[in-house]
Amino acid sequence: MHDQAERLRARMQQNNVSRQTRLITVTSGKGGVGKSNFSLNFALGLQEKGHKPILFDLDLGLANLDVLMGISPKRHLLHLLQPDMTVWDIMERGPGELDFIAGGSGFAKLLQLDDAKLDLLFARLQPLQGYADTIIFDTGAGISNESLRFMLSSDEVILVTTPEPTAITDAYAVIKMLHFYNPRTTIRLVVNRVTSAREGTMTAQKLVMVAKRFLNMDVHPLGFVLDDPHVSKAVKLQRPFLLAFPHAQASRDIRHLSAVYLGKEAGGRQSLPAGIGGFLQKLRRFIR
Ligand SMILES: Nc1ncnc2c1ncn2[C@@H]1O[C@H](COP(=O)(O)OP(=O)(O)OP(=O)(O)O)[C@@H](O)[C@H]1O
Ligand SMILES: [Mg+2]
């Protein structure tokens, strides 16, 4: 009897842990390095492995992710402020049954909302806690005020770069900025458009080493994606490459990277994610 109760309690605890929602902001220094394609296909990669991600477009005004998915969202974040709206009403289903929320111009306006509206918005986002394992925010080119606030409020940041020196220098500038505001930010590094595995590993190692030496900051390499013409083909088809070309090199790389990510999550992490509640609390501090 006692054993049975113990087992039940353990299982409930396990369920609780798996229902923790982790928030990730995807960013880069230089624009156009592949953040949106990464965010979309990484979300699908996690979903393929039984996870439940939600993709959020934080790119102000420039409808990016919806074009990559070939959908036209009817609602965005600030529609949540209309009477009787729920978060389920503003959620779109993208290809591969991926849940998607468009930011519209909502993220810039977020910073100007009065307290009552902010309370309402945040209360209406709360049901996402426990619904999704992972919420992925795709940010636009350059570091805006809003994207910085999202990075600092998230559980972790995925920094995307290419092996080009300009992209690497700009990626380092992002690391430096995050270090300045919060040296404990968890930063994972993805090197996109590499011509070989060796180039991917070397680029990551270089950045990790520089961040350690000059900032004493740990940057965690997550993986690389090869430069693959299927990516551009998929963009033109307005389909995620993971679905349009499941056997292409870029798709294989994303699948591998998703598996590595989930392996890390299961094993190496010490702290549980702060979840939606923790995220909104931090964001509110930055807004006010
Ligand atoms: N692994 C890859 N192999 C080949 N081409 C790629 C790869 N990743 C991205 N690209 C190309 O780069 C283009 C830009 O990608 P994407 O829109 O994802 O970048 P971004 O970082 O989101 O841009 P922005 O900063 O404007 O938001 C894509 O349309 C595609 O042509
Ligand atoms: Mg983009």
Domains, the chain: 22-287 (3.40.50.300)
- 42-73 CB burial, b ≥16 within 10 A, e <16: bbbbbbbeebbbbbbbbbbeebbbbebbebeb
**What average pLDDT does this structure show over 131-141?**
91
Q: Residue 67 carries which side chain, given as an amino acid letter?
A: V
Map residue 150 onto helix, strand or coil: helix
Determine the pLDDT at residue 106.
65
Question: Regarding predicted confidence, which is higher, 54 or 13?
Answer: 54
Q: How much distance in Å is there from the Cα of 64 to the middle of ligand 2? A: 6
Residues 253 and 226 sit within 8 Å (Cβ to Cβ): yes
Among protein residues, the one whose CA lies closest to atom 23 of ligand 1: 32
Residue 195, ligand 1, Cβ within 6 A? no
Q: Which atom of ligand 1 is nearest to the CA of 30?
A: 25
- Range of 128-132, 146-150, 196-200 with top mean pLDDT: 196-200
* Closest residue by Cα to residue 194 from 149, 163, 168: 163
Residue 46, ligand 1, Cβ within 6 A? no
- Which residues, by Cβ under 5 Å, contact ligand 2, an ion? 35-36, 64
pLDDT tens per residue across span 50-101 = 999 999 998 765 658 999 999 999 998 889 999 999 999 999 999 999 999 9
Q: What number of CA atoms fall less than 13 Å from residue 271's CA on the CB side?
A: 10
Determine the pLDDT at residue 109.
78
Q: Which ligand has the shortest distance to the CA of 142?
A: 1
Question: What's the gap between Cα 146 and its chain centre?
Answer: 15
Residue 257, ligand 1, Cβ within 6 A? no
Residue 21, ligand 1, Cβ within 6 A? no
pLDDT tens per residue across span 171-212 = 999 999 999 999 999 999 999 999 999 999 999 999 999 999
* Closest residue by Cα to residue 58 from 124, 121, 104, 126: 104
